[in-house]
Structure 1
Amino acid sequence: MKTIKGLFAALAGVLLLSSTSTIAQEQTRPEFVTITTMHWNMDNKDFKMEEWKAVEKEYLDKVTMKNEHVVAASFYLHRMTPDNTELVYVQSYPSWEAIGKAATRNAELEKASWPDEKARKTFLKKRDAYYSPMHSDEIYATMSNAKPMTAKPTLDMICYVRKGHFAYGDGTDEEFDAISKEYFDNVTNKNEFIKGYYPMAHAWGSDRTEFLEAYFFDSMADLEKMFDRDTELFEAHWKDEASRKSMAEKGAKYFDNRHGDYIYTYVAGLAK
């Protein structure tokens, strides 16, 4: 059922790949998300997590929180991923144009917050010293059928990311829309262990087939419980084997069988 769950959750946003105007029509959510995968500077022998948090908190308060072009921003630390040196920085924006404007605004706010050039360079150098020069950037388009968190978290959370890939073949927009919404309404949205769910599709980057689903949980235990609860909800809505098989067959042509799983710690104190 884990495969069935991921399969149908993926369908929640496929329609937007062929119709970006749908995104623009939904003014209640950001339009784009940038994901920067960074790496710790492993040569920094004096690294202390609390000191890193303090530096990033200062930048958050003085710059990011005041940047009107950034809707949200957050850090994610490696928990179960292929590379223990990585950390991920995510920002969301109301439009494509806002991405460029945000960078310009950051520079303005940095000068305003540290008007003395020497002090500003010292702080930014200290901040940069935590990270390796190597990083990668991807931009994703947000999707419908998200389950936003009801309040900004005050404690660290578990973030489970499922990276899948769309297949481009037979199918119709109408069928996409119908089966994705039906699954979301009756399974994902009803699963009480899922505190937040955010689907995203590739907009700019290395792989146009990429599809990301970010799930938020209070604990690792709740992540495990999600799968069993999904099964219960799935079987409660599609009550017989024939209807379950029909749903699976409809969805199968819209994605391929590749996916990757990643688990991060969402850092509550470093989020906008």
Structure 2
Amino acid sequence: MKTKHTPIGVLIIFLLLVNTAIVNAQEKPVIPAYVAVTTMHWNMEMEDFDMDKWKATEKEYLDKVTMKNEHVLSSSFYLHYFTADNSEVIYVRTYPSWDAIDKAVTRNEELEKLAWPNESARDAYFKKQGAYYSNEHSDEIYAPIPGAKLLPQGSKEDYITYVRKSHFAFPEDGSREDFMALRTEGNEKIIQKNEFIRAYYPNVHAWGSDRTEFMEAFYVDTLADLDKMLDRQGTLAEEAWPNETARTARNKKVSKYFTGIHGDFIYRRIGVLSK
């Protein structure tokens, strides 16, 4: 099928091609090229489920495999807090390149055999691990875009994670330059100055079911801080654009790049299971 590219369509392509890897002499956190999000589900028929035992099982895999896989920049688990499905278990991995995704799979297999050299023991571990989950899962791959506020490298803190999924509108009168200028200005004046936001990660669709998706993840300490964060966003916007008419005009310019439809999801990051 032939795709029609509008100016904002060119913008999305540009964002996906942005080289966002950031490494300096102080070894600051690296912004990945791709983020893989797997939505799994608890096995709701498991009668002897124990959260601590689940964490211990996944921690064993983290220590023996994921931590040693040089192709995986980071990984983390997120559990349902306020979403439409209480069975959700979100598993996120980040990669420095598209090629690294395939390499990571091969490297996992190698490390699994090193971790459990006895085949029977290896099979027993994966049977125990798999018993926690249903057979249903889905995968999406996103591409980070500039404007992130990063967690410290190796953070093991639990965080409330608010995910907002919006959708691009592809306006005929839009442009990459206009969108990026609006977004950069808003990011600098609001998100980066909001003291309740511990981390922020903006991502666009790279591979999956909906190319219009714009996914933002906000990390805060507590659920109460989420309310404070949202209130603070409004206050910072008023401080940045004190003239109400100018502020309204700017909001109108930003809103034309989106459909106006978005979804809200709140998860709990499991810090101990994070790389």
User: Same fold, TM exceeding 0.5?
Assistant: yes
Are 2:80 and 2:268, in contact at CA under 8 Å, matched by a contact in 1?
yes
Q: Cα deviation per residue 1:90-113 (whole Å; 9 max; x = unaligned)?
A: 000000111111111100000011
The equivalent residue for 1:7 is: none
Report if the CA contact (8 A) 1:78-1:86 is conserved.
yes
Contact 1:156 1:268 in 2 (8 A): yes
- The residue correspondences of 1:6-17 to structure 2 (distance < 5 A) are 17=12
Q: Give the deviation of 1:16 after TM superposition.
A: 5.7
What whole-Å deviation, never above 9, does each CA across 1:178-200 have from its counterpart, x for those lacking one? 11000000000000000000001
Instruction: Report how far residue 158 of structure 1 moved.
Output: 0.2
What is residue 56 of structure 1 aligned with on the other side?
A: 58
* SS in structure 2 at match of 1:69: coil
User: Compared with structure 1, are the counterparts of its residues 203 and 185 closer, same or farther at alpha carbon in structure 2 (3 Å cutoff)?
Assistant: same
Deviates more, 1:57-66 or 1:16-25: 16-25
RMSD over aligned Cα atoms? 1.6
The letter for the 2-side match of 1:22 is V
Q: In the alignment, is residue 204 of structure 1 matched against residue 207 of structure 2?
A: yes
Instruction: Please say if residues 74 and 90 of structure 1, whose CA atoms lie closer than 8 Å, have aligned partners that are also in contact.
Output: yes
1:149/1:15 CA distance change after superposition, 3 Å: farther
Change (3 A) 1:26 1:151: closer
Partner of 1:112: 114
Equivalent residue of 1:234, what SS?
helix
- Letter paired with 1:260: G
| Alignment-mate amino acid for residue 18 of structure 1 | I
In 2: Cα distance, 1:105 partner to 1:151 partner: 22
Tell me what 1:31 maps to: 33
1:189 aligns with 2:184: no
**Count of residues in correspondence between the two structures:** 260
Q: Is the 8 A contact 2:20 2:32 kept in 1?
A: no
Does residue 136 of the first structure (1) align with residue 138 of the second (2)?
yes
- Counterpart AA for 2:12: L
Q: Percent identity?
A: 53
What are the Cα deviations for residues 165-211 of structure 1, in whole angstroms up to 9, with x where unaligned? 11112211111111100000000000000000000101111111111
1:77 aligns with one of 73, 79, 82: 79
Letter in 1 for 2:128: K
Find the aligned partners of 1:148 and 1:139 in 2 and give their Cα distance: 19
Q: Does 1:21 align with 2:24?
A: no
**What residue in structure 2 maps to residue 154 of structure 1?**
156
Determine the C-alpha separation between the residues in 2 that align with 1:265 and 1:43.
23
Supply the distance in 1 between the matched residues of 2:267 and 2:199 (Cα, whole angstroms). 14
Mean alpha-carbon deviation: is it higher for 54-63 or for 240-249?
A: 240-249
Residue matched to 1:8? none
2:260 counterpart residue number: 257
Within 2, Cα distance between the matches of 1:249 and 1:257? 11
Uncovered stretches (5+) of structure 2, i.e. residues with no partner: 1-8, 24-29
Q: CA deviation at 1:155?
A: 3.1
2:147 to 145, 149, 166: 145
Change (3 A) 1:206 1:158: same
- Residue 245 of structure 1 is matched in structure 2 by 248
SS across alignment from 1:190 = coil
User: Bigger CA drift: 116-125 or 26-35?
Assistant: 26-35
Instruction: Work out whether residues 11 and 176 of structure 2, in 8 Å CA contact, stay in contact via their aligned partners in 1.
Output: no
Greater helix share, 1 or 2? 1
1:23, distance to aligned residue in structure 2 (A)? 3.0
Match of 1:175 in 2: 178
**Alignment partners' CA distance in 2, 1:164 and 1:194:** 19
> Which stretch shows the higher mean deviation, 234-243 or 14-23?
14-23
- Cα distance in structure 2, aligned partners of 1:213 and 1:202: 11
Long gaps (5+) in structure 1: 1-13
TM-score with structure 1 setting the length: 0.92
Structure 2: distance between partners of 1:190 and 1:15: 30
Q: Measure the CA separation in 1 of the matches of 2:67 and 2:21.
A: 26
SS in 2 for 1:199: strand
